Each structure stands twice: as C-alpha cells, then as structure tokens.
Amino acid sequence: MSEFSTEQVRHLAGLARIALTEDELGRLAGELGAIVDNVAIVQQAAGPDVVATSHPIPLVNVYRDDVPTETLTAEQAVAGAPEHDGSRFKVSAILGEEQ
C-alpha cells in the first residue's frame, strides 16, 4: 500500500504550482495512494533488457529551412493575456519583499 502524507502532497502541489486547500490535500493523499498502488504493476512487466519507448512512431529530428515565415503580431500574441499593455505581457512581481 502506497501511502501519501498531506505534507508530501503539499510538496508536490508546490512543485506543480497549485495552491491546494487543506481539504484537497487530504483527499488527494488518499486518492494518490490508491492510484499509485494500481499503476505500480508496470514495474513487474519488463526486465532491464527492454528498451523504453518515448514516441510511438520513431522519428529523427525534424528541421526546416531557416527562413522567416508568417508569425503573430505582438498585438495578436498578447490579445488573450489577462493583463497587457497592447504589445507586452504584464507580469506579477517576480520577487517577494524578503528577496
């Protein structure tokens, strides 16, 4: 039985940048334990001699010619942003007061 503590989930949520509530942390700790128990069988499937597949159809690197093509204008690129000044994204403060 895989066990997740609330603290572990809090740490993962921090890495994933999701401000989970205490309720969510508690519920997820239980659910993740059950899910990980079920997916852990993948460890029994293959020995060390089996190679990993990351891509269903093998491809080599794909290149294109280094020529300019049509791109979005700055206005188009920022149009869907929550805050912008017409041509630039407005970002919240990067550093906190203690930094």
Partner 1 sequence: MSDLTRLTAAELSAGLTAGDFTSVDATQAHLDRIAAVDGDVHAYLHVNAAALAEAEAVDARRTAGEQLPELAGVPVAIKDVLCTIGMPSTAGSKMLEGWVPPYDATVVERMKAAGLIALGKTNMDEFAMGSSTEHSAFGPTRNPWNLERIPGGSGGGSAAAVAAFEAPFALGSDTGGSIRQPAAVTGSVGVKPTYGGVSRYGAIALASSLDQVGPVSRTVLDSALLHDVIGGHDPKDSTSLKDTWPSFAEAARAGKRDGSLKGLRVGVVKQIANGEGFQAGVTQRFSESLELLADAGAEIVEVSAPNFEYAVAAYYLILPAEASSNLAKFDSVRFGLRVAPEGGGTVEQVMAATREAGLGDEVKRRIILGTYALSAGYYDAYYGSAQKVRTLIQQDFSNAFEQADVLVSPAAPTTAFKLGEKLDDPLAMYLNDITTIPANLAGVPGIGLPMGLAPEDGLPVGIQFMAPAREDARLYTVGAALEQLLEDRWGGPLLSQAPDLAASSMLAVSDGAI
CA-wise closest residue to 19 among 9, 27, 5, 29: 9
- Indicate whether 38 belongs to the interface with partner 1 (CB under 8 A): yes
Backbone angles phi, psi at 89, to 5 degrees: -70, 140
Instruction: At 78, list the tokens.
Output: 């920022």
Find the binder of partner 1 among 55, 66, 67, 85 (CB under 8 A). 55
In whole angstroms, the minimum distance from the beta carbon of 18 to partner 1 comes to 4
- Indicate whether 1 belongs to the interface with partner 1 (CB under 8 A): no
In whole angstroms, the minimum distance from the beta carbon of 35 to partner 1 comes to 6
In whole angstroms, the minimum distance from the beta carbon of 66 to partner 1 comes to 13
**Is-contact 83 90, C-beta < 8 A?**
yes
Report the alpha-carbon distance of residue 38 to residue 2 in Å, rounded: 10
Place of tokens 């993962």: 12
- Indicate whether 33 belongs to the interface with partner 1 (CB under 8 A): no
- Indicate whether 31 belongs to the interface with partner 1 (CB under 8 A): yes
In whole angstroms, the minimum distance from the beta carbon of 30 to partner 1 comes to 11
